[in-house]
């Protein structure tokens, strides 16, 4: 072995060490050595060496010890390929025996020597011999006394004396760390962090600088940024007479690093060591191209660097750090963009439960819309509105939501449902308006009639009880959890600007209301890719007119009701056009089945009968007649547009009139009109003829010209397959991948949540296909449709407006397939902008 054995290598500037073979820590230590920093002598064991140790094949440790010199105790630390993959706990002071204690005592003092030995006995007992930590519960605080007691406790429990041979100690430590890495728990933990199941572990064995003894001795950590905000600020602690990371748990005795009004500092105690440390940490940042935390020890006034690790960071700090590194010319902008996980931006865009705070979890469900909020439980939308009016934050709890609940959702601070999945009503609306939402929480018992909710552990919650919905993790917490505010800051804005300069895929937002449109514009969406117009009919004062329209017996009566809806719709569209200031706005014509606008219970029927001045029996009959066994595959979308054409005619007239209205105010817009749920080209032909007729009528009535673009929403497999017939008639195709996924799998959007996690757990689906696009099946339909559509109509615009538009992996697919844009919920626009930029780098 020795230096030329790559399995056991003394870390020198030229040694053959790579993160791939020896792990990230070993590689980082070599970089520090190359920078000529004062790193104690260190030996790296390769993945192969550690693997062999786990299998029982111990290398020649005497030779290893000879590389390090025999005088000091040692420490062993894990070195996995990616530092985030973790590894067994570091073990310090290996080699402490009775003989070494006695030898060290004259140099560092009796008490310090005893403390070192005691520490090692305890660490060895727990981490290596796997004894219970509580055998040391009664050990005395006096080091000499404590050591005696600890040795006795060890001997008693292990039924053998504490090993006195440093080589044996080291062998046992290496073996136990190597085996711990191969254990099932460690394997599961690292695979959850993205490591391959067979990822290797390296180990580094380092000569220890003791940190205890005469003169100024101690240890600490330093970093140059705040881990929570990314702000430049010297952070860390130092503790005299300590080792490892003791300073971080050193309480009141630990010193600040820099001079600080709150207490004494290392800068005052040892100004030279402090200045040097600051310089080294800054050097690590520039040369390792990463914000680093330095672990250091001072021995008799002299500074040593033991280790450098990437600074721990939350999403906000990750953005700040990446941007600052690029602004300082240390990394290129493209690399800064790649260093931020797009999904992590959610942490910046929404309030979150403080990750440091204790969590009293009542139950889990599907994390359908990120962010967290606390409020009192209400079980109906009208209670939510009442609570909102009183200024009391409330959480709307429903078995599932429907269009009737939209107003209640707007009034609530969060939503919790028993049923549903990623594209159920509550999830889509929640994400659209930035409302934290957990759906499919079926492990709780929902008794909304009795106004109570029972957690799996039997705790019962009633109306008015306070809970916290954590839509980022999918958890329901008892009471009011401490929340952290959203953290958009200058670094975020800079990173987003860089993303926009880099990406080649446009990002639009799905926005139904002026509020959504404002959010979309603030997040720099390049237009609206989907305005679901039906939500507009639930507004105050409109539902009744809508119901009159549905109940109309003749086309004259229907026309009268639609006449009243027309000016309202015109204003809706004009508002969106004004907010979007000339950017494209794609309006989808009416989509849901009409029965969604009618009350479902008897009391509702009675109320409606009164309002419309009709006999109850007639109302009930009519509601029943509109009912369908399978409404999502029934009379909705374009089918309604063909059989009750007046609704679409009213909507397109409102769009054209709004276009002319805002043109008069100086806003130039070419509106986009989208036909939902198409499955046959003849449907498009029929609707197109009517739309053209309305356009001609408006042009001749007003004497004014305007343009518009007509498109089809591809939501049925047949529309994708027949894109070649459909495309020549329209300007664009936009994939509604929510319905397309539902229909391709034959999987209900609203019910799949019940078994989805089981399906994913058993590997039937790699992921929830409503969440991440199924590129194999649904993706193939997308590609076929794109290819046939573009072949028949070369200038055709292609896009996606289902919920997948905000999913980074699905965005990659759309870009590769040559789409022009993706459209997603307004709050996901920044995530999509960054994901699109990363794919373009």
Mind telling me the catalytic residues? Answer: 425, 801
Backbone angle region of 254, left / alpha / beta, with phi > 0 → left and psi within -120 to 50 → alpha: beta
Please list the residues that pair with 532 across neighbouring strands.
588
**Beta carbon nearer to Mg ion, 333 or 722:** 722
Q: What is the full DSSP assignment across 393-414?
A: -EEEEESS--GGGHHHHHHSSE
Residue 672, binding choice from ligand PEP, Mg ion, none, Cβ under 5 to 8 Å by partner class: none
Report the run of H or E that residue 461 belongs to, with start and end: strand 460-462
**How far is 123 from 573, CA to CA, in rounded Å?**
69
Q: How far is the CB of 235 from ligand PEP (least distance, A)?
A: 45
Q: In 3D, which of 656, 487, 635, 475 has the Cα closest to residue 550?
A: 635
Cβ-proximal residues to 570 (8 Å cutoff; 6+ apart), any chain: 654, 657, 658, 661
- Determine the Cα–Cα distance for residues 76 and 304; give it in Å rounded to an integer: 17
**What is the chain's Cα-based Rg?**
33
Distances 835 to 370, 410, 813, 815, 828 between C-alpha atoms, Å = 17, 29, 11, 10, 11
Q: Which does 530 bind (CB under 5 to 8 A by kind): Mg ion, ligand PEP, none?
A: ligand PEP
Q: Residue 716 annotated as binding?
A: no
Please tell me whether 816 is known to bind a ligand.
no
Residue 468 interacting entry, from ligand PEP, Mg ion, none, C-beta within 5 to 8 Å by type: none
> Residue 439: beta bridge partners?
366
Rounded Cα distance, 285 and 303, in Å: 18
**Distance in Å, CB of 834 to ligand PEP, minimum:** 22
Do strands 797-800 and 821-824 pair parallel, antiparallel, or not at all (unpaired)?
parallel
Q: Is 553 annotated as a binding residue?
A: no
737 among annotated binding-site residues: yes
Q: Give residue number: closest CB to Mg ion.
A: 739
**Cα distance between residue 484 and residue 355, in whole Å:** 9
- Counting residues that bind Mg ion (by CB under 5 A) gives 3
Task: Please state, in angstroms and rounded to a whole number, the distance separating the CA atoms of residues 546 and 613.
Answer: 15
| Closer by beta carbon to Mg ion, 213 or else 736 | 736
Q: Is 672 in the site for Mg ion (CB under 5 A)?
A: no
C-beta of 228 vs 680, nearer to ligand PEP: 680
Q: Which is nearer to ligand PEP, 96 or 740 (CB)?
A: 740
Part in contact with Mg ion (CB under 5 A); list of ranges 353-361, 551-559, 615-623, 709-717: 709-717
Which of 81, 383, 739, 803 is the binder for Mg ion (CB under 5 A)?
739
Least Å distance, CB 708 to Mg ion, is 22
CB of 636 to Mg ion, least distance (A): 9
Nearer to ligand PEP, 491 or 569 (CB): 569
Which of the listed partners (Mg ion, ligand PEP, none) does 657 bind, with a CB threshold of 5 to 8 Å by partner kind?
none
Q: Which of 73, 342, 430, 736 binds Mg ion (CB under 5 A)?
A: 736
User: Terminal CA-to-CA distance of the chain, rounded, Å?
Assistant: 43
Nearest distance, CB of residue 567 and ligand PEP, angstroms: 25
Beta-strand relationship, 506-510 and 528-532? parallel
**Residue 335: beta bridge partners?**
none
Under DSSP, is residue 352 helix (H, G, I), strand (E, B) or coil?
Answer: strand
Which residues make up the interface to ligand PEP (CB under 6 A)?
428, 530, 532, 591, 715, 736-739, 801-802
Question: What does each C-alpha distance from 274 to 237, 280, 693, 720 come to in angstroms?
Answer: 11, 10, 80, 66
Residue 802 near which of ligand PEP, Mg ion, none (CB within 5-8 Å, type-dependent): ligand PEP
Under 8 Å between Cβ of 470 and 477: yes
Kindly provide the residue ranges of all beta strands, DSSP E only, lying in 566-677, ordered along the sequence. 585-588, 672-675
Site map 313..332 versus Mg ion, x via CB under 5 A = --------------------
Which listed option, Mg ion, ligand PEP, none, makes contact with residue 834 (CB within 5 to 8 Å by class)? none
> E strands, 643-688, where?
672-675
As a whole number of angstroms, the distance between CA 809 and CA 805 comes to: 9
- Per CB under 5 A, which region of 257-265, 357-365, 738-746, 829-837 contacts Mg ion? 738-746
Q: How far is the CB of 782 from ligand PEP (least distance, A)?
A: 12
142 Cβ neighbours under 8 A, 6+ residues apart? none
Q: Is 738 annotated as a binding residue?
A: yes
Tally of CB atoms within 10 A around 721: 15
- Minimum CB distance to Mg ion smaller for 596 or for 715: 715
CB of 521 to ligand PEP, least distance (A): 20
C-alpha closest to that of 780 among 832, 745, 820, 732: 745
CA atoms within 13 A on the CB side of 160: 6
Name the minimum Å distance from CB 739 to Mg ion.
4
Min CB(176)–Mg ion separation in Å: 56
Torsion of CA 819, 823, 828, 829, to 10 degrees: 80
User: 């276009």: which residue's tokens?
Assistant: 659
**Is 715 annotated for ligand binding?**
yes
Question: In residues, how long is the chain?
Answer: 841
Q: Which stretch binds Mg ion (CB under 5 A): 220-228, 231-239, 413-421, 710-718?
A: 710-718
Residue 236: closest CA among 208, 268, 274, 206: 274
Indicate the burial class of 754 (C-beta count within 10 angstroms; 0-12, 13-18, 19 or more). Answer: middle
Write out the binding residues for Mg ion, residues 65-124 only, by CB under 5 A. Answer: none
Q: Is 532 annotated in some ligand binding site?
A: yes
Binding partner of residue 532 among Mg ion, ligand PEP, none, CB cut-off 5 to 8 Å per kind: ligand PEP
- In terms of CB distance, is 428 or 669 closer to ligand PEP? 428
Shortest reach from residue 835's CB to ligand PEP, in Å:
19
Q: State the nearest-atom distance from the C-beta of 555 to ligand PEP, in Å.
A: 28
Region binding Mg ion by CB under 5 A among candidate stretches 5-13, 310-318, 648-656, 736-744: 736-744
Contact 833, 500 (CB under 8 A): yes
Q: For residues 208 and 244, what is the distance between their CA atoms, to the nearest angstrom?
A: 10
Closer to ligand PEP at the Cβ: 405 or 591?
591
Any long-range contacts for 184-189 (C-beta under 8 Å, 24+ apart)?
Answer: 186/86, 186/87, 186/88, 189/86
Measured from the CB atom, the residue of 425 and 722 that comes closer to Mg ion is: 425
Cβ distance to ligand PEP smaller for residue 740 or 836 = 740
b/e code 772-781 from CB counts within 10 Å (16+ = b) = bbbbeebbeb
Beta carbons of 478 and 358 less than 8 angstroms apart: no
**Structural tokens at position 402:** 């429907």
If the CB atoms of residues 85 and 819 are measured against Mg ion, the closer one turns out to be 819
Q: Which residues bind Mg ion (CB under 5 A)?
A: 715, 736, 739
Which residues are documented as binding site? 532, 588, 715, 736-739
Which residues are documented as binding site for Mg(2+)? 715, 739
Which residues are documented as binding site for substrate? 532, 588, 715, 736-739
């Amino acid at each position: 072995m020795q230096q030329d054995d790559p399995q056991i290598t003394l870390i020198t500037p030229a040694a053959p060490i790579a993160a791939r073979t020896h792990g990230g820590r070993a590689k980082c230590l070599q970089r520090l050595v190359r920078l000529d920093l004062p790193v104690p002598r260190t030996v790296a064991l390769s993945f192969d060496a550690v693997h062999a140790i786990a299998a029982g094949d111990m290398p020649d440790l005497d030779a290893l010890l000879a590389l390090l010199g025999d005088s000091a105790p040692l420490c062993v630390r894990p070195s996995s390929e990616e530092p985030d993959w973790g590894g067994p706990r570091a073990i310090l002071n290996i080699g402490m025996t009775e003989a070494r204690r006695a030898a060290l005592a004259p140099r560092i003092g009796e008490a310090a020597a005893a403390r070192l030995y005691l520490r090692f006995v305890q660490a060895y007992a727990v981490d290596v011999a796997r004894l219970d930590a509580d055998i040391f519960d009664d050990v005395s605080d006096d080091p000499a006394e404590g050591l005696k007691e600890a040795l006795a406790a060890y001997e008693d429990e292990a039924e053998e004396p504490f090993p006195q041979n440093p080589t044996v100690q080291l062998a046992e430590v290496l073996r136990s760390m190597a085996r711990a890495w191969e254990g099932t728990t460690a394997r599961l933990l690292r695979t959850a962090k993205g490591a391959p199941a067979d990822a290797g572990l390296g180990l580094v064995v380092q000569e220890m600088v003791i940190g205890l003894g005469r003169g100024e001795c101690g240890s600490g950590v330093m970093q140059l940024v705040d881990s929570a905000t990314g702000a430049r600020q010297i952070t860390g602690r130092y503790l005299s007479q300590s080792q490892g990371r003791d300073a971080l748990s050193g309480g009141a005795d630990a010193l600040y690093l820099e001079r600080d009004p709150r207490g004494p500092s290392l800068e005052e105690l040892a100004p030279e060591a402090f200045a040097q440390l600051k310089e080294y940490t800054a050097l690590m940042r520039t040369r390792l191209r990463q914000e680093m935390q330095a672990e250091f020890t001072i021995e008799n006034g002299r500074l040593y660097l033991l280790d450098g690790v990437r600074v721990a960071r939350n999403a906000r700090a990750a953005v700040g750090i990446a941007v600052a590194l690029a602004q300082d010319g240390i990394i290129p902008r493209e690399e800064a963009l790649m260093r931020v996980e797009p999904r992590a931006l959610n942490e910046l865009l929404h309030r979150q439960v403080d990750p440091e705070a204790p969590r009293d979890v009542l139950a889990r469900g599907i994390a359908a819309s990120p962010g967290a909020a606390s409020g009192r439980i209400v079980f109906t939308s009208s209670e939510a509105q009442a609570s909102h009016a009183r200024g009391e934050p409330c959480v709307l709890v429903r078995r599932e939501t429907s269009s009737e609940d939209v107003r209640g959702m707007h009034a609530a601070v969060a939503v919790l449902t028993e049923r549903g999945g990623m594209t159920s009503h509550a999830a889509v609306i929640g994400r659209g308006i930035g409302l934290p939402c957990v759906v499919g929480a079926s492990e709780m018992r929902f008794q909304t009639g009795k106004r109570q909710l029972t957690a799996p552990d039997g705790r019962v919650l009633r109306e008015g009880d306070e809970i916290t919905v954590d839509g980022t993790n999918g958890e329901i917490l008892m009471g009011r959890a401490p929340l952290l505010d959203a953290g958009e800051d200058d670094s975020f804005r800079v990173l987003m600007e860089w993303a926009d300069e880099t990406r080649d895929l446009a990002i639009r937002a799905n926005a139904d209301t002026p509020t959504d449109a404002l959010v979309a514009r603030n997040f720099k969406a390049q237009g609206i890719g989907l305005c679901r117009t039906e939500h507009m009919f639930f507004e105050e004062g409109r539902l009744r007119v809508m119901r009159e329209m549905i109940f109309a017996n003749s086309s004259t009566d229907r026309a009268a009701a639609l006449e009243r809806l027309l000016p309202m719709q015109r204003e809706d569209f004009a508002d969106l056009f004004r907010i979007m200031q000339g950017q494209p706005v794609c309006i989808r014509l009416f989509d849901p089945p009409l029965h969604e606008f009618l009350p479902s219970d008897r009391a509702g029927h009675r109320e409606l009968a009164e309002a419309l001045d009709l006999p109850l029996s007639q109302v009930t009959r009519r509601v029943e007649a509109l009912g369908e066994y399978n409404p999502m595959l029934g009379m909705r979308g374009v089918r309604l547009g063909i059989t009750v054409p007046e609704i679409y005619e009213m909507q397109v007239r409102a769009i054209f009139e709004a276009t002319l209205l805002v043109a008069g105010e100086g806003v130039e817009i070419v509106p986009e009109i989208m036909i939902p749920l198409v499955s046959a080209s003849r449907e498009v032909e029929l609707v197109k003829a009517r739309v053209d007729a309305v356009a001609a009528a408006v042009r001749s009535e007003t004497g004014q010209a305007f343009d518009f673009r007509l498109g089809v929403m591809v939501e049925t497999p047949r529309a994708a397959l027949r894109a070649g017939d459909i495309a020549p008639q329209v300007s664009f195709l936009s994939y509604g991948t929510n319905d397309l996924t539902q229909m391709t799998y034959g999987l209900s959007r609203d019910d799949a949540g019940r078994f989805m996690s089981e399906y994913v757990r058993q590997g039937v689906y790699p992921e929830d296909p409503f969440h991440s696009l199924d590129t194999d099946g649904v993706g193939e339909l997308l590609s076929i449709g794109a290819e046939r559509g573009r072949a028949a109509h070369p200038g055709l615009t292609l896009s996606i407006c289902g919920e997948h538009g905000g999913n980074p992996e699905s965005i990659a697919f759309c870009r590769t397939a040559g789409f022009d844009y993706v459209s997603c919920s307004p709050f996901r626009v920044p995530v999509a902008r960054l994901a699109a930029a990363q794919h373009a780098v």
